[in-house]
Structure 1
Amino acid sequence: MDLSQKKLFLLDLDGTLYLEETLLPGAAEFLEYVRSRGGCYRFLTNNSSRGVDAGLEKMHRLGVPAVPEEFLTAVEATIHYLRTVRSPNDIYYAVGTASFCRQIAQAGFSLRDTPTEDVTAVLVGYDTTLTYEKVQDACRLLCRGADFLATNPDLACPTLFGFVPDCGSICAMLENACGRKPVFIGKPDPTMIRLAWAQTGYGPAETLMVGDRLYTDIACGVHAGVDTALVLTGEATAADAAVSDTPPTAVYENMAQLLAALRQADHEKGETA
């Protein structure tokens, strides 16, 4: 992989650029360097618990310049899926945060607060406000035949103390109870990468997907046909990468090490130009 050819950097957030309120080593410097060399980046996150406004506020709080157009989320991928694949007459029961439900409703889709007879699909996100009542309502709907959709398959969300259950774990609980498997919409599906290409005009050869999870971030890049970089600041380990069905193109300890490699590649290209 020739890093000097890369102009579009697709970056996961949780476990890649930051952990909770802590910016990870090299993250801010990497973004600054990409801008200085005329490239661009997009933040690709499967975290559906908050909207772009919250993500933007967090980046600013961490001292990182960002604009709304730089965010591509699992919620946007879900909205794209609902518009292009599902019937406009579908009615959804959402297992998600208030922010998630608000974004889905603002996009023009019908939501119900209770498991009414007219609900055609259960839509599950990373719900940090999960209650047993929501779980029971979702089970009631799934057991009577409603479709099962979910924003992302991530099993755990990284924190400073370890991990907490993400959307994939919530879905596993529902699957165990109801015997139903969900259709997952976010990464590793390559929709967000394709949306990034449409926004920026770049293509596969100029793109690098960077993340900390093999089965979402790296698999997303593999499915889109782009080079990938795994950073070891989140879920996956180098040993995991060595036996993965979707191995990364390269592995780095953190964003600082990736930045050093990018600078070296640019330097070598300058010397041989």
Structure 2
Amino acid sequence: MTATLAGCDVPLATAHDLALVDLDGVAYRGHLPIPHAAESLTAAREGGLRLVFVTNNASREPEEVADQLTGLDIPTAANEVMTAAQACAALLRTRLAPGARVLVVGGAGLRTAVERAGLTIVDSADDGPDAVAQGYAPGLAWEDLAEAAYAVAGGAWHVASNLDLSLPTARGFAPGNGALVGAVVAATGVQPDSAGKPSPTMYRLAVERAGAERPLVIGDRLDTDLAGARSGGLPGLHVLTGVSSARDAVLADAGLRPDFLGGDLRALLEPHPAPQRGADGWWTCGDRAARAVDGRLELDRQGPHGIDVIRSACAAAWEAADRDDHVDATTVPELEA
């Protein structure tokens, strides 16, 4: 639990040796680039920061993800991608011996990862699978979910690649893997284990593979990316280019709070001042300040916000929440970086 954001006197890209970068909402949005993402990641790399792109998407192969990033001017090799499918397969191997039978309910990326882990894929609950590996794929049908339910009800270990309830698409948010997993849970009453964020499994695998000593998680979702960082004891940078807003950060529970905040990936190339608490109860960062009084968030002045007032507001609201004097959400405006 932390009552304020961390500080860093040098650019984050200098202070860390590995960045674990989320994809959608951070590196790109759907099939579109995010402003400043490519040039910021390139500059960070040129300064010596290694990158691994970590995604809860289990339907695609690492090579496919790498090709998409490369096409968006973020040159990436397949071994710089860690998918939830790979984490799912690694989790399966913690309990299953080579050759164990796994019913895969998901896309090509999950099937490949399970095969590469030395496990045997079966296609029916009647084949007596030892486990069910479930990941998102757009072509999944009722028959696939039913087969998973039959196997889990028969005693198979249920492992989900992730439990994201929603999935961002070009048209809005669609049901994610967690929603599909929920159908199997509703039918069986059995809660699955999960390999994807907010479990720190993928982060740990990526750090081990890279041999990193000072990793940094970068994400746009507090409930997955940053919750996974906090549960894994890793520092996290929340960028405001995706799902979770600055207002969400201000109101975040302790287990979801980031260590650093930035408007976009240019934040990698900048120092991060830590908010400071004054004797009068105002939290200041740069030339902006905020405080929490009697359940209300107060800003020092009206007008444009900026990242420093967001940092101050987070510190003030978190301190209040940690003493059980939570800020009324209706007093927190939409804050723009």
**Same fold, judged at TM 0.5 (above):** yes
TM-score normalised per structure 2? 0.72
Partner of residue 183, structure 1 = 193
Partner of residue 101, structure 1 = 111
Partner of residue 157, structure 2 = 147
1:234 to 212, 219, 242: 242
Quote the Cα distance in structure 1 between the aligned partners of 2:142 and 2:92: 26
Partner of residue 252, structure 2 = 243
Letter in 2 for 1:162: G
1:160 to 149, 155, 170: 170
2:95 to 69, 85, 91: 85
Post-superposition, which runs of at least 4 consecutive aligned residues in structure 1 deviate over 6 A? none
Matches within 5 A, 1:4-43: 4-43=14-53
Letter in 1 for 2:55: T
In the TM superposition, residue 89 of structure 1 has moved relative to its aligned partner by: 5.3
Provide the secondary structure at the position in 2 that maps to 1:153: coil
Partner of residue 281, structure 2 = none
Cα displacement string for residues 219-248 of structure 1 (whole angstroms, at most 9, x for unaligned residues) = 221122121111232222223322223211
Partner of residue 270, structure 2 = 263
1:137 aligns with 2:147: yes
1:75 aligns with 2:85: yes
Provide the secondary structure at the position in 2 that maps to 1:172: helix
Provide the secondary structure at the position in 2 that maps to 1:209: strand
Quote the Cα distance in structure 2 between the aligned partners of 1:114 and 1:195: 30
In the TM superposition, residue 117 of structure 1 has moved relative to its aligned partner by: 4.4
1:58 to 65, 68, 71: 68
Partner of residue 268, structure 1 = none
* Structure 2 gaps, min length 5: 1-6, 273-337
Letter in 2 for 1:106: R
Higher CA-based Rg: 2
Instruction: Tell me, yes or no, if the aligned pair for 1:53 and 1:68 is still in contact at 8 Å.
Output: yes
Cα displacement string for residues 160-219 of structure 1 (whole angstroms, at most 9, x for unaligned residues) = 32212221111112212221211001222223222333333322xx22111112222112
In the TM superposition, residue 68 of structure 1 has moved relative to its aligned partner by: 1.8
Cα displacement string for residues 93-129 of structure 1 (whole angstroms, at most 9, x for unaligned residues) = 1110133213312332111112214112221011221
Quote the Cα distance in structure 2 between the aligned partners of 1:181 and 1:109: 22
Letter in 2 for 1:181: Q
Higher helix share: 1
Partner of residue 135, structure 2 = 125
Provide the secondary structure at the position in 1 that maps to 2:126: coil
Letter in 2 for 1:16: V
Quote the Cα distance in structure 2 between the aligned partners of 1:52 and 1:117: 29
Cα displacement string for residues 38-77 of structure 1 (whole angstroms, at most 9, x for unaligned residues) = 2111111111010111111111222221112211121221
1:214 aligns with 2:222: yes
Equivalent pairs, count: 261
Instruction: Tell me, yes or no, if the aligned pair for 2:88 and 2:194 is still in contact at 8 Å.
Output: no
Letter in 2 for 1:137: E
Quote the Cα distance in structure 1 between the aligned partners of 2:155 and 2:209: 38
Letter in 2 for 1:231: V
Partner of residue 223, structure 1 = 231
* Structure 1 gaps, min length 5: 266-273
Partner of residue 270, structure 1 = none
Instruction: Tell me, yes or no, if the aligned pair for 1:47 and 1:126 is still in contact at 8 Å.
Output: yes
Partner of residue 313, structure 2 = none
